[in-house]
Structure 1
Amino acid sequence: MEKFLWAKKNRVDNQPMWLPLLVHLDDTSKLCGLLYDRWLSLGVKDLLMDSVISDAEDKDELLINLCKFLGWTHDLGKATAIFQVKKSFNGDFELDNLILEKLINAGFKDLDKFALAKRENIRHNISSQYLLTKFGVNLCVSNIVGAHHGRPISANEADICNSFKSSLYQEDNINSDRAIYWQNLQKIIFNKALLTCDFSSVNDLPLISQPGQVILSGILIMADWISSNESYFPLIPLNQVEVGPDRVEVGFRKWIDGRAEAWTPHSYFDEIYEKRFNFEPRDAQRKISEAINDIDEPGIVILEAPMGMGKTEAALIAAEDLGQKTNRTGMFFGLPTQATSNGIFTRVREWLDHIEGKKSLRLIHGKAQLNDEFSKLPKSRNIHGGDGVGVNEWFAGRKVSILDDFTVGTVDQILLAALKQKHLMLRHLGLANKVVVIDEAHAYDSYMNIYLNQAIRWLGAYRVPVVILSATLPISKRNSLLKSYMMGANLDYGSIPKPEGFATNEAYPLLTYNDGTNIKQFADFETDDGID
């Protein structure tokens, strides 16, 4: 009977259409696995492998199966009485009655009478988490499912379902035949999820660290949004309950064809400045790049130098080197204002023009569409082929723009990562895939620095390479940024030996960075006149 449950319903060309729940769960499951396998950067995959606690020998395979399981169970809460009598968003009573009649004819007795009663409408993400917990799934996993509408659900909040049994099982008496019918149905879907995703029991599901949970939540939300897009995964006629075997591969191909080629960054080499910018590096730029190239375990790099020394170009070369070392697939370049973001956007586009392959670049701030250079970039659903820069239109939304490969924007895009807001995990996922460059760090006030330090701490937890640029920084602020990153990366900042004079070093220009648990500073620069 589970094949008659619905997940989505709508009219297409004035014809009543639907999507069976099992089809949507299968779509999202396979898509979630594909996003992990074919979209996520290798650096984030490595992070996730270290984030799971399991006896499984192949952590990569475990995570693919886990992603599939999350997709298979994310809408388990739709297999409840209260959801199945839910009205359509546009008030299409004819469509609602057709779906309800289909359910009653399939054996869901008296569902029409239940629809007339006023019952507590429990959101299906909450009931999904509740049912998974009831079936013995650990909170690390069930909480990811509960968070797929953009906000984590506490165990106490999910337990509200205990007070509204009829919403889940059609009757408050959970031992009645009708309630048992619903419970068996939900258990059938859950067991199918375990079997399909190669888990023999709930005990095979791993425990997951907090950063890992955030990233997996972001992947699940992405998968759900893509699988809910009717351009990729269309609804089917009411008289159908099955779809073609290649449905997911076709839908995924339509989506990923809109993505530019994955960035394959280069480590530093002698001619890289000439190839990227058509000039030979200055002494300071060369020494900065060589020092960064010598880093074995990248973390945070803080560069203090005067305006005109070439910090921007050095940072872009550093982004390539650090991206190659940590297997990242993009870069975010943050600045304090829209005007400065617009200025750097041009320079980043020119840098990308000198990198092989087509790249997707996005300007992120409130007036980005008024920027002529950004608005004139070619927009295409398929931007493969040739070299150059274009715009992937799927990432145009406010909540998904940070997921694009190369992004330039105001620093609030970083600061928001430290705030409580809906769908925060998408922002964290987008940043985790990238090298992050933050320019003009001296321009941020005390209030912004609180959020900046917290955001930097999260970036450390994801092992995101960070480059901080500034004309000058107070020693306390410089060391605070370094401390925040290393604490996030679970490195014992307090007990790690510091360079001589670390707490009082006023050298200028100055390069400060960590190489794993080693903190280093470099100040052996020739005196150079700045240039504009």
Structure 2
Amino acid sequence: MSYDEYARELSAALGAAGRSVWAKHDWDSGGWLPLWRHMGDSAGTAAYLWDEWLAPQVRARISEALPRGEADGRRLAVWLAMVHDIGKATPAFACQVEGLAEAMRSQGLKMGSAAQMGKDRSLAPHGMAGQLLLVAWLQDNGWSKRAAQQIGAVVGGHHGVPPSDADLQDALAHRELLYGSASTDAWQRVQRELLDAAASACRIREHLDAWSPVKLPQPSQVLLSALVIVSDWIASNASLYPYFQRTGTAADGRVSRALKQLGLPGRWRPRLPQGSAQDVFAARFSWDEGTRVRPVQEAALAAARAMDEPGMLVIEAPMGEGKTEAALVAAEHMAAVSGAGGCFVALPTMATSNAMFSRLADWAGSLEGIDGSASVFLAHSKAALNDDYTGLPFAGAESADDVERDAAGSRGGGLAAHWWLRGRKKGMLADFAAGTIDQLLFAGLKSRHLALRHLAVAGKVVVIDEAHAYDTYMNTYLDTVLAWLGAYRVPVVVLSATLPARRRRELAEAYCQARRGSPEFDAVEKVQGYPLLTSAVPGGAPQVEAVEASGRRTEVQVEYLDDDPDALARRLETELAGGGCALVVRNTVKRVHATARVLRDRFAGTGVEVSVAHARFVDLDRADKDRELLAAFGPPATVAELGGHRPQNPRIVVASQVAEQSLDIDFDLLVTDLAPVDLVLQRMGRLHRHLRGQGQSERPEGLRTARCLITGADWGQQPPEPDAGSQFVYRRYPLLRAAAALDAHLSAEDGGNTIGGTVVLPDDIDRLVQGAYGPDPIGPSEWQEELGQARESHGIEQAAKADQARAFLLNPPAKPGRSLIGWVNAGVGDTDDSPRGRAQVRNAGESLEVLLLQRRRDGVLTTLSGLGEGRGGIELPTDFAPSEEVGRIAAASAVRLPFPLVAPWVIDRVIDELEQNLLPAWQDKDAHWVAGELLLVLDEDCRTRLAGFDVHYTHQDGLEVTDGH
């Protein structure tokens, strides 16, 4: 039947009383919709989404327990979408609009006014009421209550939170809210009439007996819930489905017109990539004739081809080996096998997500099986500031007219940031997305509309990059999410250069929903080799394969350096005497600033440039800093593309952890604070990363051997004592294990205790990582007592973090037949990609972001002076909202405050002082760029006082906070 037929058949089966029940009302225009019309709109929308939009692997999961497979799945989904608002046919809801309620009273549906019914109405919200009505109707049709609750909870949770048993009992105790006066059964007759008519219109009545014994898996229930929510949201969009202005019905073709106007891109229909690995990779990534596929890339495609059902593939390989390309090609094959309709790449930071977005878009644009255009999304809170994302077609379309115009102008294919698939709750429903790991971890957080997050990932292949970068708290969420992804049969690709063997096993066990320590997973932890591929399919034994290395090797001479800024300055003066570029990585921004000051003093007037890179720049400056680094230290092709050049004079970049992963940059010499060993190795990956010569300046003679100086600890102590700031960031035990692993490796090579040695990348990566994170004691005997004490403290702390994470952690999938009642009980409520939301899945502590603005001497408020491309010093209105363009510049002047200003004992005072800068005119809904933001206003010298601290900002060094006493 056509998408318009559902409403037509439903309406024809109703009497006057059933047709009088209302569902929607607009106070401004007086427009309204009868319930039957919204039921028909929702059903037609759901049928369309099933046919044209849902990925086959989602349809398969919904349908897997039903007798007639996907034919039953479609019927069930459309029917639930039709009846989701049946709870509006109750006195508790209908009394809210007196004029519409009076029309219903005239048809025998008696009810009091909203005032007369009072606060008790809140005990029976229409979602919960609908669940109770549907369960009762199913029981009347021969279902057990347990079976009926599986279906009823989908209706009960369509506003984002399935009710609890206690909520349902409270509603049942107030039957007058559901059924009206005990002296009449008029309400029950209308409710049965609507449900009977819906069953007939959706052709499900003849299937009820076959469905009643089905034990519907929880993943199926979640996906049905999400589909109902999406259908309801689309059908509730008044631009697509206009309200009636008077009595009567809409013209025929209403649903078809709305769906055409909606213009959702057709789903990706992936095809198995054909040909040799060389052919596939060259086609997908536009390789030139001289580029050859690397062994790990070839092996990853072969491993994916060997998996005849959805599973997990873990790729461990050195930095620079093309793991990302390997993951995307494997994802293409896995998508074709599973029926996925898209891909999500999860990364540690916004910076890595921004860099990945362009690569993902280029890959998606090369794929076969995309008809028309595909929807894409950059999934983090600053996506609206990314020009690559906002410049895509459909971005910014607000009205249906705009959508239709943009869609007409965009026909012929391509990628689109679709107008409807925008926002923090809908964006991840797009076909292809790159974003922060938070977006994936949110699928394990008990929160409102959690089902939508599950639908967003259940139809994709999920790629998890930099899997080593997540701590115990985040891994607790990640393991829960992996259990659900395994239950959904979502293909997963995990990438890491430095993954501990124990963590590899935990990932596989989580995805396969195996208990920890299962014997069949022993090989995942015990097989040695590097690079390494691990494949795991739920219900099967994991496979582990060592892969041939590509032959790329970098020998890094390692030395220990005293943690003394003057000693560092003297050493760099010697090392850079013949030219060259050095990277100094500090573990805290405070150490970045302190180091930069000493080095600038030392090299003043010598021609040696000293710059900094860290995360405490406003967004606009941070983006400029990243471009500057790539233009100077990026791959030769990137340098040329950005119009830059390798520095001719000596250059020192003092950076925080932003240099570890987010930027493809190359230096002649590395100095790094002691960090967990996997991060030290990541930093070493910035040494001699790109081939120089061949028209480029050769490296200075004294720096043609890669060297790493490790500082940030007192090497004279046994064991070494790490810097206090480093211990705050990474904790003492991982730092001591890193020192022990390095000591064992370097001492063994030199035959005794030494102050240095050689690390060969990638040959030594696995040995160092497994040594640092393995269970065996490591390091000199005189270290063991302190290592043991640190390990005990660390274990207690990690257990506490895991327990803390479980406070709002979703349970793994329950046994089939268990309903979603109470699924997200005791959750966090409505959360999203905000500082509060991210804190739930990252355990990041208090976080506070502010917009940095400036006040001139004459009192005029401006954007920061000195921002590039004419963005600095723009005058800002204070008695009305800034324009769209100026508001975006102001929003891009955000920076996160450092710990001294967000410590528990000072943050309340900080917020109180910042709130003094709030501008009422900026809180208007039209000022969406700046509404609700806290403003930190600097003087004309870019200084201010905040909660007793001195705050200073420069475009050269970013935000600095010092004790003002």
State TM-score, norm by structure 2.
Answer: 0.50
Alpha carbons of 1:157 and 1:23: their partners in 2 closer, same or farther (altered >3 Å)? same
Cα distance, 1:519 vs structure 2: 1.4
Rounded to whole Å, the distance in 2 between the matches of 1:496 and 1:463 is 23
Rounded to whole Å, the distance in 2 between the matches of 1:292 and 1:493 is 25
Q: Which amino acid aligns with 2:312?
A: I
Alpha carbons of 1:393 and 1:50: their partners in 2 closer, same or farther (altered >3 Å)? same
1:118 matched to which residue of 2?
118
Alpha carbons of 1:275 and 1:25: their partners in 2 closer, same or farther (altered >3 Å)? same
Rounded to whole Å, the distance in 1 between the matches of 2:169 and 2:117 is 23
Cα distance, 1:268 vs structure 2: 4.9
2:419 matched to which residue of 1?
393
1:139 matched to which residue of 2?
149
Cα distance, 1:160 vs structure 2: 1.8
1:277 matched to which residue of 2?
285
Q: Which amino acid aligns with 2:218?
A: Q
Rounded to whole Å, the distance in 2 between the matches of 1:15 and 1:457 is 48
Moved more, 466-475 or 284-293: 284-293
Q: Which amino acid aligns with 2:387?
A: D
2:526 matched to which residue of 1?
504
Q: Any idea what SS the aligned residue of 1:362 has?
A: strand
The one of 379, 398, 405 equivalent to 2:394 is 379
1:317 aligns with 2:329: yes
Q: Which amino acid aligns with 1:10?
A: D
Rounded to whole Å, the distance in 1 between the matches of 2:430 and 2:471 is 28
Rounded to whole Å, the distance in 2 between the matches of 1:181 and 1:251 is 34
1:528 aligns with 2:536: no
CA RMSD of aligned residues (A): 2.2
Matches within 5 A, 1:278-293: 278-279=286-287, 280-293=292-305
Moved more, 409-418 or 357-366: 357-366
Larger Rg: 2
1:91 matched to which residue of 2?
none
Q: Any idea what SS the aligned residue of 1:408 has?
A: strand
1:77 matched to which residue of 2?
87
Moved more, 375-384 or 327-336: 375-384
Q: Which amino acid aligns with 2:85?
A: D
Rounded to whole Å, the distance in 2 between the matches of 1:502 and 1:22 is 56
Decide whether the 8 Å contact of 2:98 with 2:113 is kept in 1: no
Alpha carbons of 1:82 and 1:510: their partners in 2 closer, same or farther (altered >3 Å)? same
The one of 187, 193, 203 equivalent to 1:188 is 193
Q: Which amino acid aligns with 2:264?
A: G
1:486 matched to which residue of 2?
512
2:639 matched to which residue of 1?
none
Moved more, 119-128 or 423-432: 119-128
State TM-score, norm by structure 1.
Answer: 0.90
Cα deviation code 1:323-355 (max 9, x no counterpart): 111111100000000011111112112212323
1:100 matched to which residue of 2?
101
Q: Any idea what SS the aligned residue of 1:506 has?
A: coil
Q: Any idea what SS the aligned residue of 2:552 has?
A: coil
2:237 matched to which residue of 1?
229
1:158 aligns with 2:168: yes
2:73 matched to which residue of 1?
63
Moved more, 392-401 or 461-470: 392-401
Rounded to whole Å, the distance in 1 between the matches of 2:95 and 2:283 is 62
Q: Which amino acid aligns with 1:363?
A: L
Rounded to whole Å, the distance in 1 between the matches of 2:491 and 2:268 is 18
Q: Which amino acid aligns with 1:31?
A: T
Q: Which amino acid aligns with 2:301?
A: S
The one of 351, 358, 365 equivalent to 1:353 is 365
Rounded to whole Å, the distance in 1 between the matches of 2:413 and 2:253 is 31
2:444 matched to which residue of 1?
418
Rounded to whole Å, the distance in 2 between the matches of 1:321 and 1:195 is 41
Cα distance, 1:246 vs structure 2: 2.0
- Greater RCO, 1 or 2 (C-alpha within 8 Å, sep 6+): 1
Rounded to whole Å, the distance in 2 between the matches of 1:239 and 1:497 is 67
Rounded to whole Å, the distance in 2 between the matches of 1:512 and 1:360 is 31
Cα distance, 1:108 vs structure 2: 3.5
Q: Which consecutive unaligned segments of at least 5 residues does structure 2 have?
A: 1-16, 396-402, 554-688, 691-965
Decide whether the 8 Å contact of 1:74 with 1:125 is kept in 2: yes
The one of 195, 200, 203 equivalent to 2:209 is 203
Rounded to whole Å, the distance in 2 between the matches of 1:413 and 1:64 is 28
The one of 497, 505, 508 equivalent to 1:471 is 497
Q: Which amino acid aligns with 2:487?
A: A
Rounded to whole Å, the distance in 2 between the matches of 1:374 and 1:246 is 35
Decide whether the 8 Å contact of 1:353 with 1:387 is kept in 2: no
Rounded to whole Å, the distance in 2 between the matches of 1:147 and 1:291 is 40
Q: Any idea what SS the aligned residue of 1:203 has?
A: helix
1:7 matched to which residue of 2?
23
1:214 matched to which residue of 2?
222
Cα distance, 1:184 vs structure 2: 1.1
Rounded to whole Å, the distance in 1 between the matches of 2:103 and 2:46 is 30
1:167 matched to which residue of 2?
177
Rounded to whole Å, the distance in 2 between the matches of 1:410 and 1:59 is 35
Moved more, 386-395 or 126-135: 386-395
Rounded to whole Å, the distance in 2 between the matches of 1:513 and 1:166 is 57
Alpha carbons of 1:169 and 1:288: their partners in 2 closer, same or farther (altered >3 Å)? closer
Q: Any idea what SS the aligned residue of 2:543 has?
A: strand
Cα deviation code 1:405-450 (max 9, x no counterpart): 0000000111111110000000000100000000000110111111
Q: Any idea what SS the aligned residue of 1:71 has?
A: helix
Cα distance, 1:25 vs structure 2: 1.1
Q: Any idea what SS the aligned residue of 2:30 has?
A: strand
The one of 22, 25, 33 equivalent to 2:39 is 25
Rounded to whole Å, the distance in 1 between the matches of 2:74 and 2:57 is 15
Rounded to whole Å, the distance in 2 between the matches of 1:272 and 1:475 is 31
Cα deviation code 1:284-323 (max 9, x no counterpart): 2112212221221230011111100000110111111111
Rounded to whole Å, the distance in 2 between the matches of 1:130 and 1:97 is 25
Rounded to whole Å, the distance in 2 between the matches of 1:359 and 1:198 is 33
Decide whether the 8 Å contact of 2:467 with 2:494 is kept in 1: yes
Rounded to whole Å, the distance in 1 between the matches of 2:35 and 2:274 is 50
Cα distance, 1:104 vs structure 2: 3.3
Decide whether the 8 Å contact of 1:296 with 1:515 is kept in 2: no
Alpha carbons of 1:307 and 1:157: their partners in 2 closer, same or farther (altered >3 Å)? same
Rounded to whole Å, the distance in 1 between the matches of 2:445 and 2:285 is 37
1:433 matched to which residue of 2?
459
Q: Which amino acid aligns with 2:244?
A: I
1:362 matched to which residue of 2?
377
Aligned length: 505
Rounded to whole Å, the distance in 2 between the matches of 1:494 and 1:78 is 50
Alpha carbons of 1:204 and 1:72: their partners in 2 closer, same or farther (altered >3 Å)? farther
Rounded to whole Å, the distance in 2 between the matches of 1:204 and 1:71 is 20
1:344 aligns with 2:360: no
1:303 matched to which residue of 2?
315
1:92 matched to which residue of 2?
none
Rounded to whole Å, the distance in 2 between the matches of 1:36 and 1:23 is 20
1:248 matched to which residue of 2?
255
Rounded to whole Å, the distance in 2 between the matches of 1:151 and 1:112 is 28
1:129 matched to which residue of 2?
131
Q: Any idea what SS the aligned residue of 1:118 has?
A: helix
Decide whether the 8 Å contact of 2:55 with 2:341 is kept in 1: yes
Cα deviation code 1:371-395 (max 9, x no counterpart): 1211212226328633432211111
Alpha carbons of 1:159 and 1:205: their partners in 2 closer, same or farther (altered >3 Å)? farther
Alpha carbons of 1:261 and 1:187: their partners in 2 closer, same or farther (altered >3 Å)? closer
Decide whether the 8 Å contact of 2:524 with 2:542 is kept in 1: no
Moved more, 293-302 or 351-360: 351-360
Q: Which amino acid aligns with 1:508?
A: Y
Alpha carbons of 1:129 and 1:332: their partners in 2 closer, same or farther (altered >3 Å)? same
Moved more, 100-109 or 400-409: 100-109
Decide whether the 8 Å contact of 1:17 with 1:238 is kept in 2: yes
Cα distance, 1:263 vs structure 2: 4.2
Q: Which amino acid aligns with 1:99?
A: L
- Aligned-residue sequence identity (percent) comes to 35
Q: Any idea what SS the aligned residue of 1:386 has?
A: coil
